[in-house]
Amino acid sequence: MTRKHFLILLVLVLVVGGVGVAMFKRDTDAWKGPDSRLGQKVLPNLQVSDVTHVHIKHKNDELNLVLDNNVWGVKERGGYAADPALISELMFKARDWKIVQSEPITEAQRPRIDVAAPDAKEGAATLLEFRGKDGKALATLYLGKKHLGKPPLQVKGFDKGQPDGRYLLVGADPSTLLVVSDPMNNIEPKPEKWISKEFAKIDRIKRLELDSGVPAASYTLTRDRESGDFVLAGAKPGEKTDIGAALSTTNALYQLAFVDVEPKLKPEQLAKATRITAETFDGWTYEMKIAPKPGDDAHMYFTIALSGEATKTERVAPQDEKAEEKEKRDQEHAEKFKRLQAQLAREKTFAGWVYSVETKTIGPLLRVRERFIEQPEKPGKPAAAKK
């Protein structure tokens, strides 16, 4: 090979190599484009304190959580209080969501990942919108399919993996598909999931009366001291109160729970209602009504209203009480009164609403009178004679 040929070959190698390097750099830059956001926040400019309205929508289902006088309410449930724990979880998670994967996406590809418009016929996204005081959107997200991680076990039920993240689009950048490491299981436009499930807990019962309008299905239980046993009113000679039945019935009032509220109904509208009155040793009176829910045997309507005041009592100290014990017990007595005041204020807010409760949870209260009369034990079979 002559020197001239060698120089020509060297120039060609440099040219081809330069083109290759340029193409490699271009491809690398293109690959790095979306992935350069890895680890960054999805909503870096979201200020939780500015959010006063959360809007969630999927097809025909819609949810509006609205902040009013520093209290979050569910618009679709007549403004009933929202669960503060769920609200806080959503807000602070949204502030910290980080990108773990990103890639370009076209509008035509969006239905395949369920990030199309929330009212689209196919592949509709779940719209999540944070709004400010002026009603304008502070941030808009289109939530799509859940990202599935590698299955931990190669067995039936785990072969497709478990949700470990969520695909989404940011409204300001709909051409980039993102993945965050949060499946966002609670973000659904279901009002019953977002209402606060905190409810009255009735204890220290002194008198419990159920009036169904039918004497055989009505009863009154009383006791003269908190540590005493309940007695069935009107018991005939020889009839003894079934203590176990009385306790399970009164305990049901401490375990009250509901599944939803009925904002279109008022307590006075309930038909064929059974009335329950519970008086406590705190001097409070709870008035409740239970009514059948048409077409739904698994649930019943329930209302509750509380009257009374928190009465402060003086603590009676024993004669041999030491100074350090007195200070501690005085403080405990004062804190107990504060808790009583808080309970009274909280439970008075449940009045005026109609709740949907599970029939099985309210069932112990709906016993007939005879159920509280202790039945004599049936004589056992005589033992077989030994041979």
Residue 364 has which token pair?
Answer: 């112990």
* Local structure of 136: helix, strand or coil: coil
Q: Do 1 and 8 meet the contact criterion of CB atoms below 8 Å apart?
A: no
Give the model's confidence band at 3: pLDDT under 50 very low, under 70 low, under 90 confident, else very high: low
- Least confident stretch, 73-87, 109-123, 165-179, 326-340: 326-340
Residue 328's pLDDT is 87
Give exposure, 11-32, as e/b (b: 16+ Cβ within 10 Å).
eeeeeeeeeeeeeeeeeeeeee
Give the model's confidence band at 18: pLDDT under 50 very low, under 70 low, under 90 confident, else very high: low
- Mean of per-residue pLDDT scores for the chain: 88
Residue 162's pLDDT is 84
Cα–Cα distances (Å) from 224 to 172, 229, 242, 296, 340, in that order, read 68, 8, 17, 39, 21
Cβ neighbours for 236, distance < 8 A, ≥ 6 positions apart: none
Q: Measured between alpha carbons, how far is 287 from 232 in angstroms, rounded to an integer?
A: 20
Residue of 76, 56, 52, 215 whose CA lies nearest to 136: 52
Q: Is the pLDDT assigned to residue 13 strictly greater than 60?
A: no
| Span 343-358, average pLDDT | 97
Decide the pairing of beta strands 137-148 and 173-180. unpaired
Residue 161's pLDDT is 74
Q: Measured between alpha carbons, how far is 111 from 122 in angstroms, rounded to an integer?
A: 6
Considering only residues 16 and 225, tell me which one the structure prediction assigns the higher pLDDT: 225
- Least confident stretch, 55-69, 287-301, 307-321: 307-321
Residue 344 phi, psi dihedral angles, 5° rounding: -60, -45
Claim: this prediction has a pTM higher than 0.85: no
Residue 387's pLDDT is 46
| Span 122-147, average pLDDT | 96
Residue 16's pLDDT is 47
Residue 384's pLDDT is 56
Considering the chain, what percentage of its residues have pLDDT values greater than 70? 86
Q: Is the pLDDT assigned to residue 5 strictly greater than 70?
A: no
Domain boundaries of the chain, sorted by first residue: 48-194, 205-313+326-372
